[in-house]
Amino acid sequence: MKCLTSLIMPLFLCALLIGCGSLNASSDASSESTVIVAAVLDDPMTQAASVDVTNETKADKPQLFEPGVFEDPKVCSTCHRDIYNEWSKSMHANAWTDKWYQPDYLLAHQQTDGATDMLCGACHAPIAARTGLLPPADGSKFDAASRRGISCDFCHTVSGVDQMFNMGHVSEPGTVKFGPRGDGNSLYHEVKYTKIHTKADFCGSCHMVLHPATGVHIIDTWDDWKNNEYGKQGIRCQDCHMTPTPAVSKAPGRAALMGKERDNLAFHGFIGGSSYVQDAMGNTKQAELSREFLRAAAEVKLAEKVTDNGTLELTVDVHNVGAGHKIPTGTTYIRIMWLQVEVVDNTDKLVYSSGHIDEKNHVDPNAVFFRVLFRDAEGNLTGKSWQAHGIGYDRRIPAKGKDSETYRIPLPGKGDYRVTTRLMYRSMTQDALDDIFKRTGEVLPPVVSVEMAAAQTQVRF
Ligand code: HEC
Ligand code: HEC
Ligand code: HEC
Ligand code: HEC
Ligand code: HEC
């Protein structure tokens, strides 16, 4: 019944009902919240996520513990040095202190009178949320372990998952550390094998965010994975994200100083698309690995034809060849992927361009964008997740799938032309950063774009 402690606000009553599995519990619910639950469950997409629950251990106790029961990651670093070093520069380690997360979280706090504090905190500061140190929202009561986001002892005292969205992990903090093998000998703690650590569902319960009141999918990575080819074949999140790069699938080593030699050790860098944030935090190695991930995900292919009246018909196919989910995934209401198309004549003069970046670091608003935006209560497009009443825009490339766009470009005269197409990525929009600056005065470095894939061709008119 973790939701009892985490979702107290009336606005989130329906999440509580769904989350605790009492789908038919209209008897103990107010009529108002029953209506909301019905509305949420009418949405077939929501149903898919709410009924599929991994049941290793049901939480029979409230998920609220004494401060200090979760150990500080520093303790683990004594023996698990390499794993600690990998993890300490991951986005998980920064999930709370993240300077790109905090402004969004604080704005949500302001606009909802604090109703979102425990929702966001459940995933971004799980130790604080489960030891009563959150609220206050500003984290002023946090102890050292809480500040370190999603850390060793949070993940390795999870004994099961009882809800596949909004963090349904069941915690059993203590001297037993749960993990994928269970055959190691440690002088410091007991080890116990748990199947859940070897399953994508372990990741999915956090990488699946539903708006508690409207049921809108804020983050849908797990649901998407579960229903695509990777999910069906059992190629897990861990298989791609707990290896240093997509190219390395086996990394031998020892998990601890006195540990056994393993032929495939789980890498704890959790690399994704955040190269910009990693660079800005000074983690250049992680940023480079992140760019490798982005480049492994996509391919661009072109088909071109010039019509008799001199119109170039350019079809750009974007293939998702490497990601186990749609690209982009995750916080796609802040992330963008887009196409840059440039046509130059044989003197290198630009005759057409789409998707360029202007002098204020903004992307051409008329570009072809692959991303998600929500619809708010008034029907306007928004990137504020807590205001989501529906999906307003969703164009992404499915796993092992493709998306096509045809450009019709009038050529200025007879001659040869060179066409360049790039698939570009930003883990955050410049608009989001400008907005943070306007609200808080905080200057974050300008967002940097990554080229995920490119293709060139020549045409003659
Ligand atoms: C986001 C959750 C998460 C965090 C944070 C995390 N781990 Fe893990 N860890 C896992 C998962 C999941 C596996 C199993 C991966 C697999 O089966 O491929 C694992 C595997 C391990 C293993 C076994 C490795 C092997 O291959 O034998 C050890 C030891 C370990 N983690 C220690 C740590 C330590 C120490 C930290 C902190 C520095 C840490 N973990 C942080 C989720 C996490
Ligand atoms: C005194 C050294 C020491 C300390 C401190 C320590 N561990 Fe370990 N741990 C080990 C050894 C040794 C193993 C066995 C590794 C092997 O043989 O693969 C191990 C194994 C593990 C495993 C693997 C479980 C599995 O499935 O096999 C996890 C998870 C783990 N430790 C988590 C932690 C966490 C979390 C902390 C900090 C709270 C921590 N350890 C602190 C020595 C230590
Ligand atoms: C307790 C919730 C939680 C669990 C469990 C969890 N994650 Fe995460 N994960 C997050 C949050 C929150 C972030 C974003 C942190 C930030 O950017 O501030 C994140 C970020 C990431 C990123 C970084 C993406 C990027 O943009 O670079 C990857 C990759 C990732 N997680 C993979 C995994 C995998 C694989 C697992 C399972 C082994 C897992 N996560 C388990 C909450 C979780
Ligand atoms: C077949 C390999 C593969 C599998 C399986 C996979 N991913 Fe990814 N993932 C990638 C690649 C490649 C990228 C980089 C492209 C990108 O950023 O979209 C990525 C990006 C991400 C990101 C960064 C968001 C983004 O779009 O920039 C997150 C978060 C993430 N994955 C989480 C997960 C989770 C959670 C699972 C399991 C449910 C998972 N991934 C399964 C390969 C994989
Ligand atoms: C169920 C878990 C969960 C909840 C609840 C949650 N998040 Fe997250 N959040 C994530 C995951 C997972 C990621 C990483 C996704 C990715 O890399 O694309 C993330 C990433 C983010 C990021 C991007 C950070 C960066 O550096 O790029 C922001 C901002 C954010 N969340 C804000 C919020 C806010 C505000 C709330 C509450 C209204 C919230 N989140 C609630 C799981 C959660």
Q: Which atom of ligand 5 is nearest the CA belonging to 167?
A: 1
Our answer on whether the CB atom of 95 is closer than 6 Å to any ligand 3 atom is yes
Asked if residues 211 and 386 have their Cβ atoms less than 8 Å apart, the reply is: yes
CB atoms within 10 A of CB 78: 11
Looking at residue 389, its amino acid is: H
Q: What percent of the chain has pLDDT over 90?
A: 85
Looking at the structure, do residues 252 and 302 belong to the same domain, yes or no?
no
What 3 state SS string does 255-323 have?
CCCCCCEECCCCCCCCCCCCHHHHHHCCCHHHHHHHHHHHHHHEEEEEEEEECCCCEEEEEEEEEECCC
Atom 40, ligand 1: residue with shortest CA distance? 152
Rounded to an integer, the average pLDDT of 137-158 is 98
Residue 271 placed within a domain: no
Q: Which residues line ligand 5 (CB under 6 A)?
A: 98, 100-101, 104-105, 108, 116, 119-120, 122-124, 166-167, 206-207, 209, 219, 272, 274, 277, 330-331, 334, 385-386, 427-428
Looking at the structure, do residues 235 and 299 belong to the same domain, yes or no?
no
pTM here? Answer: 0.92
Looking at the structure, do residues 239 and 109 belong to the same domain, yes or no?
yes
Atom 24, ligand 2: residue with shortest CA distance? 179
Residue 267 placed within a domain: no
Atom 23, ligand 5: residue with shortest CA distance? 101
Residue 377 placed within a domain: yes
Residue 58's pLDDT is what? Answer: 56
Residue 280 placed within a domain: no
Looking at residue 163, its amino acid is: Q
Residue 60's pLDDT is what? Answer: 65
How large is the angle between the packed helices 31-42 and 44-51, nearest 10 degrees?
100
Q: Which ligand is nearest to the CA of 75?
A: 2
Asked if residues 35 and 13 have their Cβ atoms less than 8 Å apart, the reply is: no
Q: Which atom of ligand 1 is nearest the CA belonging to 76?
A: 35
Tell me the pLDDT tens digit for each residue of 275-308.
999 999 999 999 999 999 999 999 999 999 999 9
Looking at the structure, do residues 10 and 72 belong to the same domain, yes or no?
yes
Residue 440's pLDDT is what? Answer: 95
Both tokens of residue 256?
Answer: 């601890």
Residue 244's pLDDT is what? Answer: 84
Helix (H) or strand (E) holding 87: helix 81-88
Looking at the structure, do residues 116 and 254 belong to the same domain, yes or no?
yes
Our answer on whether the CB atom of 219 is closer than 6 Å to any ligand 3 atom is no
- Above 70 in pLDDT, residue 362? yes
Residue 284 placed within a domain: no
Three-point CA angle 289, 433, 86, nearest 5° = 25
Substitution candidate for ligand 3 out of 88, 90, 92, 105 with most atoms within 8 A of CB: 92
Looking at the structure, do residues 334 and 439 belong to the same domain, yes or no?
yes
Q: Which atom of ligand 3 is nearest the CA belonging to 96?
A: 18
Residue 247 CA to ligand 3 center (angstroms) comes to 20
Residue 149 placed within a domain: yes
Both tokens of residue 4?
Answer: 């009892």
Which residues, in sequence order, are bridge partners of residue 341? 354, 421
Domain residues for the domain of 34 are: 2-262
Domain count, the chain: 2
347: domain CATH number is 2.60.40.2360
Q: Which residues line ligand 1 (CB under 6 A)?
A: 73, 76, 80, 83-84, 87, 92, 150-152, 155-156, 179-181, 197-198, 202, 238, 242, 255, 262, 265-266, 268
Average pLDDT, the chain: 89
Residue 4's pLDDT is what? Answer: 33
| Residues sharing a CB contact under 8 Å with residue 82, sequence separation 6 or more, in sequence order | 253, 254
Last residue of a domain, one of 262, 279, 302: 262
Atom 28, ligand 1: residue with shortest CA distance? 255
Looking at the structure, do residues 369 and 258 belong to the same domain, yes or no?
no
Looking at the structure, do residues 306 and 223 belong to the same domain, yes or no?
no
Over its C-alpha atoms, the chain yields an Rg (Å, rounded) of 24
Residue 247's pLDDT is what? Answer: 81
Tell me the pLDDT tens digit for each residue of 370-398.
999 999 999 999 999 999 999 999 999 99
Structure-model confidence comparison of residues 147 and 27, the more confident one: 147
Looking at the structure, do residues 316 and 456 belong to the same domain, yes or no?
yes
Looking at the structure, do residues 191 and 309 belong to the same domain, yes or no?
no
Using left for φ > 0, alpha for ψ between -120 and 50, and beta otherwise, residue 415 falls in left
Our answer on whether the CB atom of 270 is closer than 6 Å to any ligand 3 atom is yes
Tell me the pLDDT tens digit for each residue of 387-426.
999 999 999 999 999 999 999 999 999 999 999 999 999 9
Last residue of a domain, one of 205, 240, 262: 262
Looking at the structure, do residues 252 and 337 belong to the same domain, yes or no?
no
Looking at the structure, do residues 73 and 198 belong to the same domain, yes or no?
yes
Substitution candidate for ligand 1 out of 74, 89, 124, 156 with most atoms within 8 A of CB: 156
Residue 191 CA to ligand 2 center (angstroms) comes to 7
Last residue of a domain, one of 243, 262, 281: 262
Residue 331 CA to ligand 5 center (angstroms) comes to 7
Both tokens of residue 208?
Answer: 């699946």
Picking from 95, 197, 87, the residue whose alpha carbon sits closest to that of residue 146 is 95
Residue 270 placed within a domain: no
Residue 59's pLDDT is what? Answer: 60
Which band of pLDDT confidence, cut at 50, 70 and 90, is reported for residue 248? confident
Count CA atoms within 13 Å of residue 185 on its CB side: 2
Atom 10, ligand 4: residue with shortest CA distance? 323
Residue 170 placed within a domain: yes
